[in-house]
Amino acid sequence: MVYQQKLISICIVGLLPNIHPMKTLTVIGDPHSVSAIMVPQTEEFHDHEVVCINSSDGSQTVEKKIFRVVDGGENKWELQFE
């Protein structure tokens, strides 16, 4: 199921050196069922990057690895998950 991304924010993972902040995406519904999501091309994502996906009501969270990033048209990236 492809979701439209509602909000992008940054979670700080920790203060240790070489630890990069994990990007967090928020979706309406169950984040566990997300297989792809559309995000603005102004955001930078990479293949095999791990992102945090939250439900909009805050009740569910999952970490998923991006399988690949493809051009979704209309100035959006389609993030496809493993």
What is the per-residue pLDDT across 13-59, written as a single tens digit (0 to 9) for each?
A: 444 455 567 899 999 999 999 999 999 999 999 999 999 999 999 89
Count of structural domains within the chain: 1
Q: Which positions ≥6 away from 77 have C-beta within 8 Å?
A: 38, 39, 40, 41, 43, 45, 69, 70, 71
pLDDT of 54: 93
Two structure tokens written together for 55: 């439900």
Q: What is the pTM of this model?
A: 0.75
Residue 34 is part of which domain span? 2-81
Q: Where are the alpha helices (DSSP H) in 1-82?
A: none
- Residue 6 near residue 27 (C-beta atoms within 8 A): yes
The CATH number linked to 59 is 2.30.130
